[in-house]
Chains A and B, each alone.
Chain A
Amino acid sequence: MNNTLQIVWLIPFLPLVGFLINGLGRNNLSKTLTGIIGSGVILASFLISVFVFFSVKSGNTHVAHYFDFINTPSLKVGFDFQTDQLSTLFLLIITGVGFLIHLYSTSYMHEEKPKDFAKYFSFLNLFIFSMLVLVMGGNYIIMFIGWEGVGLCSYLLIGYWFKNNDYNNAAKKAFIMNRVGDLGFLLAVFWLLSKLGTTDYHQVFALVSDPQKKVLSLFDITGITLLLFVGATGKSAQIPLYTWLPDAMAGPTPVSALIHAATMVTAGIYMIARSNILFTMAPATQSVVAIVGLATAILAATIALKQHDIKKVLAYSTVSQLGYMFLGLGVGAYTGAVFHVMTHAFFKALLFLGAGSVIHSMGGEQDIRNMGGLKKYMSITHLTFLLGCLAIAGMPPFSGFFSKDEILAATFAKNPVWWGIGVLGALMTAFYMFRLYAMTFLGKFRGTRDQEHHLHESPAAITFPLIILAILAVTGGWIGIPELFMHGGHRLEAFLEPIFAQSKEMAVKHEISNASEYLLMGISVLGALVALLYAWNKYSRYQKIEGEETGIGKVLAHKWYIDELYDSVIVKPLQLVAAFLSNVIEKNVIDGFVNGVGKAVNYGSRQIRLLQSGQVGTYVLLMVFGILILFIIQLFL
């Protein structure tokens, strides 16, 4: 055990303290103080995480037991934190990107009243706290605390402006869809518990991977992993539970950045990466994960093509990118998936915060049809946003290229058709991102005179995080340079080696030759470049046209009518059943029977009642006294 890792508990504890101070002191703290406390605790956590990172890098990992959460003969759950390479990487992303978002928020939310400002920061701190508990937990139950915690925080923050009922509905939708996933997660945990009697990671993985023991049958392991994956589809917005995420942009924009980049949606990826041994042992589940991921990537990309809300395009791009991560997990490219989590955190936080800067400058306008030409008013926002777009489009040498390429290469090795579909999605990504970029920043301004007058670059608290994130979005991929270009260039893989080594051994090897790897890379980059340039060219000359979309465009603009489908297939029937039970079964059948009996008794008792005086108080008094007298008599006999 290593002493320097003794302080890891501080990493989640500090945000919790921030939550408590800002939450309890919301009526007394000034905005400046709130901002300093709220951001300061995250910065401190980040610094400790960096410290922990270097300790882990030199090979130390550590499971700390703080107290017995549950300790009974049937169930032992320690309040344990596990610090290893995987959790440390997530710690850095969560606290690092999280801090920048906090800093950004101090400026972005400045128009709020001090009380609400403090409420906002306390929720933000709680969000980080929950996410940290999620990745640090040493067993699935502690993970579940964070797992539901982030669900709660997203609910609180999406519905932050609680006067607006649409926002409240979005918040509720997020929570409930997550709950559906959570049920899957819970059932998986129960399954593990009933077979293994423990949910501690190291015990579970040791037991499961022991070839002598065979504690889990293939059915068990497939069932468990499928249920875990159901949990992941909720949190990480995959088919069929993805529809909450695009609605979640109802919250303040920095919250979207937090949900989409640093916290929440990466939880599902983390969980599967953490359970990689289980998934590697369940090939059927892996195929499901890959296919669902791929389908989500494509579906969300098609929807993003036709959205006009700047945040909505970004939201669907997140759903799509998450699909790629699941594709990576499904084909066994665990490092690639985690790599993409990291690069995505950089460029997606950048894009959302950039969008926030644009929205701020536009006085709350989010429709890109009313934007255009912002390049000349907001140079820093423009440049950083462009870099973010290049990164997400997978242009070399920006970060998204390396991580996406790694996933696609692994996909090709597994199934070339999947690779083809994946590349198609990547082309769409390049297209809709540059459509977004061109419509926002290029061409002529299409908003009102007032808006044009108001346009300005944002203050430093907003542009500083943009610059930092832009640097990361550009360079973040360089820690994972493929073997092809540079021997030993994939330093992330080496770092994560201890986590995924066992899966790697177990998995079936697929190798592709260097030549074909170059070819694949060339096809996807070239395709994306063409899509990018086409969109750039087309939408920089965009003219506002009135009227609805038609044909397939209309279907895409309406998001394939999935919300409407869910509404008519699940929500409405459920309401009907509930109404039927409530109005017919409960009132007439069950109560009808009881009241019938009651009436009969009533009739009989009406005849007998004549014997009684009707003074109820007297009855009780007499009865109790009677009993007491019985006792007293017995006492003295």
Chain B
Amino acid sequence: MLGNDITIPHLLIFFPLVAGLITFFLKKEAWVKAWSLLTAIITLFVSLASIYYRNNLELSGLTFNYEWLKYMGASFAVSLDGMARLLTFLTAFSFPVIFIATYRNSYKNSKVFYGLMLLSQAGLMGVFLSSDALLFYFFWELALIPVYFLCSRWGGERRIPATFKFFIYTFTGSLLMLIGIIYVYLHTGATQFSDHSFSLQAFHSVLLIPSQQDWLFWLFFIAFAVKMPIFPFHTWQPDIYEQSSAAVTMVLSGVMVKMGLFGIIRWLLPMFPVAVGKFDNVIIWLSVTGMIYASLIALKQDDLKRLVAYSSIAHIGLMCAAIFTTRQMALEGVMIQMFSHGINIIGMWIVIELIEKQLGTRKISELRGLAHKAPVLTIMLVVIALANIALPLTNAFIGEFMMFGGLFKFNMWCAAVAGVSIILAAVYTLNMVQKVFYGEANALTATAREISLNEKIILSVIVMTIFMSGIYPQPFFELTKDTVAAIITKFK
């Protein structure tokens, strides 16, 4: 059966999975790193192939269903649509960038670290590719569980309580979702071999009366809301970002938060259209409140990682609000922004990691005048910071513009309130740039050095991606138009 039927989605999942398992048995740290980077790069090429061959249905896995737990109605069904292509590409792009940026970091027991990282990558790929609810749940956990260990075993001093909080939040969410999945499953129609089905089509076409949709909606929504996270389910995030090691933080913030957004678009919206129409106002106002709330808190942060964490909560809040408008323009914006947010926040973390590695601190109050000693680092950071505040011609402008535009169509007051966050974003971002990079150098920052060549290269890649997708975003819209169209037809 194998052979002819191996498609790109399978490669995207199994390649990092197998590579990750092999990593556990490697001996030397140098081998572990080289191996992980190599496999991550190969995965990136597979992902590029998935975009290049986007019109080839067979390679996209659309025609392929491998029976898994036949008598339960679950199958190993994976497929690629535009959104899946985009997010698997984000995953595939992020890992090599992360591995290169943190190549000089050494970890205790590095084979386990890298092995878990690759397993998590496989899990993420699976989440984005599954078209079977049980499989989706399985990969959801496969992506998360390695991260629990990555957070609890490597990182800052208070990593255990932080991980514990993270675990409680996400695990509660996952359980609620599992209950939801089982309930919906029991309402699906029969297949040839089983009474019910876990397939995506079955879930999308399941008939639920409005009162059922109402509470099922919240089971799923909370799971996804925790993962994004949006206010008030967010307090695990600053702690875990602060405490975990840089590579893990990058995976969490760059890629993993997209699981929640993805889950809403792929599963929640099509399953419960009635409930979405009923609760959209609540969710959108919650998200908008969260945007302002997180932006205000970001004003007060002294730790660079916490600052970025809160800024990210604000950005994700906008994406969540945009999704629930179910307006075409907003959804198109969400698609490109899911990618852009990942790139920009990883860029941020790389800069912060470089500063911390050199100077041993992330405290804004202890840093000053870095621009004197590290002008290239400063230029890179300023560009990433400008992308963070969505300046035109950077990648984030396109997405934010369209999301705000969609939000305005939904409710203009809502857009006006949410718009205040773009002012606040400028305030906290420029404050940070000013305090860390401008002014006279102090005793600590006088010892700073310019970044090295490989760091310059990796940051240049980020910066170029920022500009390229900001100046010519059209490929992103082309790639994801099928997903957007599918959602829009459901809500017309």
- Chain A positions within 8 Å of B, measured between CB atoms, are 67-75, 141, 144-145, 148-149, 152, 155, 159, 162-165, 168-169, 172, 175-176, 179-180, 182-183, 186-187, 189-191, 193-194, 574-575, 577-579, 581-583, 585-586, 590-591, 594-595, 597-598, 601-602, 616-617, 620-621, 623-625, 627, 630-631, 634-635
Contacts and interface: CB of A to CB of B under 8 A. Distances in A.
A73 B328 contact: yes
Given A72-B481, A194-B409, A620 B391 contact: no
B230 interface: no
A70 B391 CA distance: 16
Contacts of A168: 434, 438-439
Given A149-B392, A163-B440, A578-B297, A179 B423 contact: yes
Contacts of A169: 434
A274 B431 CA distance: 34
Given A172-B434, A191-B408, A594 B168 contact: yes
Given A71-B474, A624-B142, A634-B68, A144 B369 contact: no
Contacts of A182: 422
30 contacts: A70-B398, A70-B402, A71-B474, A71-B477, A72-B481, A75-B332, A149-B393, A152-B391, A162-B371, A162-B439, A163-B440, A165-B439, A168-B438, A172-B430, A175-B426, A176-B426, A183-B419, A187-B415, A190-B405, A190-B408, A575-B300, A590-B235, A594-B236, A595-B165, A597-B168, A598-B164, A616-B153, A620-B146, A634-B68, A635-B2
B98 interface: no
B393 A145 contact: yes
Contacts of B119: 620, 624
B103 interface: no
Interface of B: 1-2, 17, 21, 24, 67-70, 76, 112, 116, 119, 138, 142, 145-146, 149, 152-153, 164-165, 168-169, 232, 235-236, 293, 296-297, 299-301, 327-329, 332, 369, 371-372, 386, 391-393, 398, 401-402, 404-406, 408-409, 412, 415-416, 419-420, 422-423, 426-427, 430-431, 434, 437-440, 472-474, 477, 481, 485
Nearest to A146: B392
A290 to B, nearest CB: 25
A169 to B, nearest CB: 8
Nearest to A152: B391
Nearest to A181: B423
Contacts of B398: 70
Contacts of A583: 300
Contacts of A183: 419-420, 422-423
Contacts of B416: 187
Contacts of B142: 624, 627
Contacts of A179: 422-423, 426
Contact of A187 (B165, B391, B419): B419
A75 B405 contact: yes
A135 to B, nearest CB: 15
Contacts of A149: 391-393
B427 to A, nearest CB: 6
Q: Which of A74, A75, A162 has the most CB of B within 10 A?
A: A74
Contacts of A186: 401, 404, 419, 422
B438 A175 contact: no
A582 B408 contact: no
B404 A176 contact: no
Interface of A, secondary structure class, is helix
Nearest to B18: A628
B415 A190 contact: yes
Nearest to B301: A582
Contacts of B369: 163
B419 A624 contact: no
A575 B300 CA distance: 8
Contacts of B485: 73
Contacts of B300: 575, 578-579, 581-583
B225 to A, nearest CB: 13
Contacts of A190: 404-405, 408-409, 412, 415
Given A73-B328, A149-B393, 9 more contacts: A69-B472, A74-B329, A75-B405, A148-B391, A179-B422, A193-B329, A581-B297, A621-B24, A631-B76
Contacts of B423: 176, 179-180, 183
B404 A68 contact: no
B54 to A, nearest CB: 17
Contacts of A630: 68
Contacts of B68: 630-631, 634
A182 B420 CA distance: 11
B46 to A, nearest CB: 20
B477 A70 contact: yes
Nearest to B428: A578
B378 to A, nearest CB: 9
A598 B166 CA distance: 10
B332 A594 contact: no
Contacts of A598: 164-165, 168
B422 A165 contact: no
Contact of A175 (B1, B301, B372, B430): B430
Contacts of B406: 74
B373 to A, nearest CB: 13
Q: Which of B119, B164, B405 has the most CB of A within 10 A?
A: B405
Contact of A70 (B76, B146, B426, B474): B474
A634 B1 CA distance: 11
Contacts of A577: 296
Nearest to A183: B419
A194 B164 CA distance: 46
Nearest to A190: B408
B312 to A, nearest CB: 15
Closest 3 A-B residue pairs measured CB to CB?
A: A190-B408, A74-B329, A74-B328
Contacts of B168: 594, 597-598, 601
Nearest to A586: B297
A159 B437 CA distance: 12
B406 to A, nearest CB: 8
A219 to B, nearest CB: 11
A591 B306 CA distance: 15
Contacts of A575: 299-300
A247 B2 CA distance: 70
A88 to B, nearest CB: 23
A574 B299 CA distance: 9
A223 to B, nearest CB: 9
A149 B470 CA distance: 14
B164 A602 contact: yes
A176 to B, nearest CB: 5
A617 B299 contact: no
Contact of B235 (A73, A194, A581, A586): A586
A602 B167 CA distance: 12
B405 A194 contact: yes
B21 to A, nearest CB: 7
A91 B402 CA distance: 30
Contacts of A635: 1-2
Nearest to A161: B438
A76 B11 CA distance: 37
Contacts of A175: 426, 430
Nearest to A627: B138
Contacts of A189: 405
B344 to A, nearest CB: 16
A607 B102 CA distance: 39
Nearest to B238: A586
Nearest to A178: B426
Nearest to A587: B235
Contacts of B431: 172
Contacts of A582: 296-297, 299-301
A162 B70 CA distance: 67
A598 B165 CA distance: 7
Contacts of B297: 578, 581-582, 586
